[in-house]
Structure 1
Amino acid sequence: MDSTLKFMLLLIFQIPAILVSIIIFIYFALDSTVRSKPKNHIWLVLLILNFLALVSDLPMSMSYYYQGKIWVKNDGYCVWWNWYESSLNTLGLCLMAWASIERHFFIFHSQTIMRVRWKMWMAHYIPILLCFAWILIWNFVFIVVPPICDNIWYFDQLMCGAPCYYTVDNGIYIMIEFIVNIVCPLGVITFANILLITRVIYQKIIHHQAVNWRRHRKMTFQLWLISSVYLAFWLPNTLAAIIRLTIMPTFFIDQYDTLIFIIYFIPLLLPIVCLNTYPELLKK
């Protein structure tokens, strides 16, 4: 895909994504009831990270696609860009994975877990903090202050190329990151969505304990719709990478740049998708 076309696509989607994000933030700011509900916290965190990507990370990539080079030829800039974009991408994936698990608590254990203070902390706040801690520390250690190698940056490549730990020790560190920070969260998202549907059907048919869908269908719909965005744009590159690593080293190698590029559409589309999960906001 041509760099100019990539730039135009990002620009076309970026402007409405920013506007919709601002509308949602205003909605949360003005409605204390919606803002205070724990079930909305994870979406708000994701939207804040998403907004940061739209206004501060995406412009760096757009500048590269527009100019065909890095506009700040500085090692510090390259370190920042790699750390920042990698952190936003994998942190969003990690939080989405936890949101998929957390929805089960809200739907099936709202009385036993989500209303007990210490259980609420264990099942709601602490996992979010752990996601932040794990992703930010991992990327800081291996990108900002790598103890195992020295970064070499290329000012004619997107994100100045890859951090040095990608190739050290036959790529063992990037393999660990790929499995832990990408494959596992995607697996959790997929499994949690399938399990949610299975649990509902099982309780309704086998135990005749139908979930109150009038009360919980919004949460289920939110999870399905928002997680679909992450799966749609992360799975192609992830599955292609797994195939390359296992059975066919050249699989989709010519489409690698495109598969990486489409991940940018997560922050571009997420605000619009989230907006559609709040019908009361659409009515306003």
Structure 2
Amino acid sequence: MTASGTVAFENSEISWPRSLRFWLLLIFDIPSIACSLFVLYHILINRKSRHALHNHTIIILLIIALIFQLTDIPWYLDFIRQGFVWPSIPVRCLLWWLIDLGFYNTAALILAWTSIERHILVFHNRWISTKKKRFYVHYLPLYILIIYSITYYTIVIFFPPCHHTYTYILPVCAASPCHLFHPILGLWEMGIHGCLSTILVAFFSISLLIRVIIHKHRRNRVFRWRIYRKMIIQLLSISILYLVLNFPIMIMSVAHLCGLPAYIGVEAQQITFFLTYWVMFLLPFVTLSSLPSLRTNICW
């Protein structure tokens, strides 16, 4: 309850029975781990796939998803089994927040860059025609994003300018590190890591599709559709997955920022927050479906 006695996101739990959540998470987590390992193995073991520029962000996303599947989900399952966060110590909450919030939003930032970079790979390949250009256009932005995200979340979670409240009787320790309520950091978190990432993914994914359609229908232009089809379908598939499960959260966050009382839409927030786990569950399968060469390696 809040100070006024109303229910808010940070002090409530989704109404779905814990037993239902347990089996949903367990049933999806096991095949997701297997699929993540399968896709990563086949991308990394193949030299051509490993060095393909369009696969680098996908590899990072799959690694993040695998870490998520191996840590965040088992911790949630253990919470349901125990009935509380165990061990009930601050470091457990800090690590859980780092994975659940930090890694998830890092994946969102990487996906936003991926949606931008696909335009470069498809329509401006001269920008990456030399080793030096590839470093500045392809590798450097990735390095900056990863270093920034690791640094940012390490500071705001482990060395915050505020005092954390550890709620051991709620999943993910209430998923509410104190910086989310900081007047500056909270706005930065929601505005940049949340809303802006979602908007960038939507805008650049849709604009990529529009540009492809336009180029395909211009007779005076040669567009190598067969070469770029895989990376275009790959981005659109992952973007749709991300947007479907994250767009409702963005809408609700903006509504609360614009004055909607915190107690309105709490249940919807809890449900959408829980469903975002399926971004990490389904990511390896969506990636696999966009790689026909890998699908042929599966023995049914």
Partner of 1:184: 196
Query: Aligned-residue CA RMSD in angstroms?
Result: 1.7
1:240 and 1:251 in contact (8 A); partners too: no
Point out the more displaced range, 97-106 or 22-31: 22-31
Aligned-residue offset at 1:6: 1.1
- Map Cα deviations across residues 102-138 of structure 1 (whole Å, 9 max, x no partner): 111111112x112222221122111111111221211
Matching residue's letter, 1:223:
L
Aligned-residue offset at 1:206: 5.9
1:41 maps onto 2:56 in alignment: yes
Matching residue's letter, 1:118:
K
1:213 maps onto 2:225 in alignment: yes
1:257 maps onto 2:279 in alignment: no
2:64 and 2:103 in contact (8 A); partners too: yes
Matching residue's letter, 2:280:
P
Partner of 1:87: 102
1:83 and 1:140 in contact (8 A); partners too: yes
Specify which of 145, 155, 159 is matched with residue 159 of structure 2: 145
Partner of 1:59: 74
**Identity rate, percent:** 27
Point out the more displaced range, 242-251 or 113-122: 242-251
Aligned-residue offset at 1:207: 7.7
- Map Cα deviations across residues 142-163 of structure 1 (whole Å, 9 max, x no partner): 11011x2222212112222322
Distance in 1, matches of 2:208 and 2:190, equals 26
Matching residue's letter, 1:4:
S
Aligned-residue offset at 1:197: 2.1
1:173 maps onto 2:185 in alignment: yes
Are residues 26 and 166 of structure 1, via their aligned partners in 2, closer, same or farther at CA, if it must alter by over 3 Å? closer
Distance in 1, matches of 2:202 and 2:222, equals 23
Distance in 2, matches of 1:30 and 1:173, equals 41
1:69 and 1:156 in contact (8 A); partners too: yes
Partner of 2:13: none
Aligned-residue offset at 1:15: 0.7
Aligned-residue offset at 1:181: 0.7
Distance in 2, matches of 1:198 and 1:28, equals 29
Partner of 2:145: 131
Matching residue's letter, 2:269:
Y
Partner of 1:272: 285
Distance in 1, matches of 2:93 and 2:142, equals 28
SS in structure 1 at match of 2:127: coil
Count of aligned residue pairs for this structure pair: 280
Distance in 2, matches of 1:28 and 1:248, equals 46
Partner of 2:7: none
Distance in 1, matches of 2:213 and 2:77, equals 45
2:180 and 2:189 in contact (8 A); partners too: no
Aligned-residue offset at 1:166: 2.7
Aligned-residue offset at 1:205: 4.7
SS in structure 1 at match of 2:293: helix
Normalised by the length of structure 2, the TM-score is 0.88
Matching residue's letter, 1:92:
A
Distance in 1, matches of 2:112 and 2:44, equals 26
1:218 and 1:277 in contact (8 A); partners too: yes
Specify which of 68, 72, 76 is matched with residue 91 of structure 2: 76
2:79 and 2:171 in contact (8 A); partners too: yes
Matching residue's letter, 1:180:
I
1:94 and 1:185 in contact (8 A); partners too: yes
SS in structure 1 at match of 2:276: helix
Are residues 256 and 8 of structure 1, via their aligned partners in 2, closer, same or farther at CA, if it must alter by over 3 Å? same
Specify which of 29, 33, 36 is matched with residue 21 of structure 1: 36
Structure 1: runs of 5+ lacking an equivalent: none
Specify which of 129, 132, 135 is matched with residue 121 of structure 1: 135
